[in-house]
């Protein structure tokens, strides 16, 4: 079990991925973004998750460069994720999208590159491109995002390399039990986006009660619940005190009963699009 902000899970190919990272969804280019990334690195985060569609890879790259220099650590100590957008899914176009992301980030390689959404008829060609990048040693790990079980099964029919990660919406109102079980059986690391349900759970009475017992915030309880479920999590924040708070979840442990109390909050409720029904 993760005991420290820099603790990692080992993906099935041997690559180590931090259990907790910084997400930057909806954070626009500019000083706020650069500072958030620098702040996260300063306080011990070793993982940053972005995507081409966020249109903030340049700022993330700047934050990484300045943050690494400030902390006196090397690029190799950081785990950087980006994702190929739907309009670039295809063999050549995905290879090209990877180069563009690298250039914007100012990096020589990514630690993890994901297919952002399972666009029907397109994700297999994109996966072939990810396999090429991986075989050539251009990226340390490859995976998918927002894939249901049937998408994964379909991908695995033709894939040479199994995805190392599946990053999906996951929080106490959407516990994804079957998908988590499937990923575990397949050796695919499960990762949560929107772990705090975009703030919608912060006044939940059950979570508040548990939080009060530990002298923690509701956000910290949810992130701890993620980790104890073996789920990698990437809460988004740009505020220094929140970045510190989100990373301070390694000094307590939820009991089995508390975990179950949180599990039963599930309503299969999404705040994001349904991977079976999106039109972008």
DSSP for 78-138?
A: -EEEEEE-GGG-SHHHHHHHHHHHHHHHT-S-EEEEEE-S--TTTHHHHHHHHHHHHHTTS
Q: In what order do the strands lie in the sheet with 79-84?
A: 22-23, 47-49, 79-84, 110-115, 139-145, 165-169, 189-193, 232-233
Task: Let me know: does 81 contact 107? Beta carbons within 8 Å.
Answer: no
Instruction: Tell me the pairing of strands 8-10 and 47-49.
Output: unpaired
C-alpha torsion sign, points 239, 198, 25, 192: positive
Distance CA(94)–CA(154), nearest Å, equals 19
Distance CA(110)–CA(246), nearest Å, equals 24
Task: Let me know: does 34 contact 59? Beta carbons within 8 Å.
Answer: yes
Instruction: Tell me the pairing of strands 16-18 and 8-10.
Output: antiparallel
Positions annotated as catalytic residues are 54
Q: Which secondary structure element, helix H or strand E, spans residue 62, and what is its range?
A: helix 57-71
């Amino acid at each position: 079990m993760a005991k420290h902000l820099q603790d990692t899970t080992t993906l099935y190919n041997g690559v180590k991925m931090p259990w907790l990272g910084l997400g930057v969804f909806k954070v626009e280019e500019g000083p706020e973004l650069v500072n958030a990334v620098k702040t996260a690195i300063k306080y011990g985060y070793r993982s940053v998750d972005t995507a081409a569609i966020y249109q903030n890879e340049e700022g993330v790259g700047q934050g990484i460069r300045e943050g690494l220099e400030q902390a006196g650590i090397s690029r190799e100590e950081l785990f950087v994720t980006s994702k190929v957008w739907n309009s670039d899914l295809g063999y050549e176009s995905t290879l090209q999208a990877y180069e563009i992301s690298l250039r914007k980030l100012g990096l020589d390689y990514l630690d993890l590159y994901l297919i952002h959404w399972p666009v029907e008829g397109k994700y297999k060609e994109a996966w072939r491109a990810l396999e090429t990048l991986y075989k050539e040693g251009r990226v340390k790990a490859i995976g998918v995002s927002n894939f249901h079980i049937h998408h994964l099964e379909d991908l695995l029919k033709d894939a040479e390399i199994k995805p190392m990660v599946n990053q999906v919406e996951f929080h106490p109102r959407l516990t994804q039990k079957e998908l988590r079980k499937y990923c575990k059986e397949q050796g695919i690391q499960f990762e949560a986006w929107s772990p705090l349900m975009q703030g919608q759970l912060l006044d939940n009475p059950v979570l508040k009660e548990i939080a009060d017992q530990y002298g923690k915030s509701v956000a910290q309880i949810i992130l701890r619940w993620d980790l104890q479920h073996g789920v990698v999590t990437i809460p988004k924040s740009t505020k220094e005190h929140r970045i510190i708070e989100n990373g301070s979840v390694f000094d307590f442990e939820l009991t089995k009963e508390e975990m179950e109390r949180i599990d039963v909050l599930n309503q299969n409720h999404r705040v994001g699009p349904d991977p079976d029904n999106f039109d972008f």
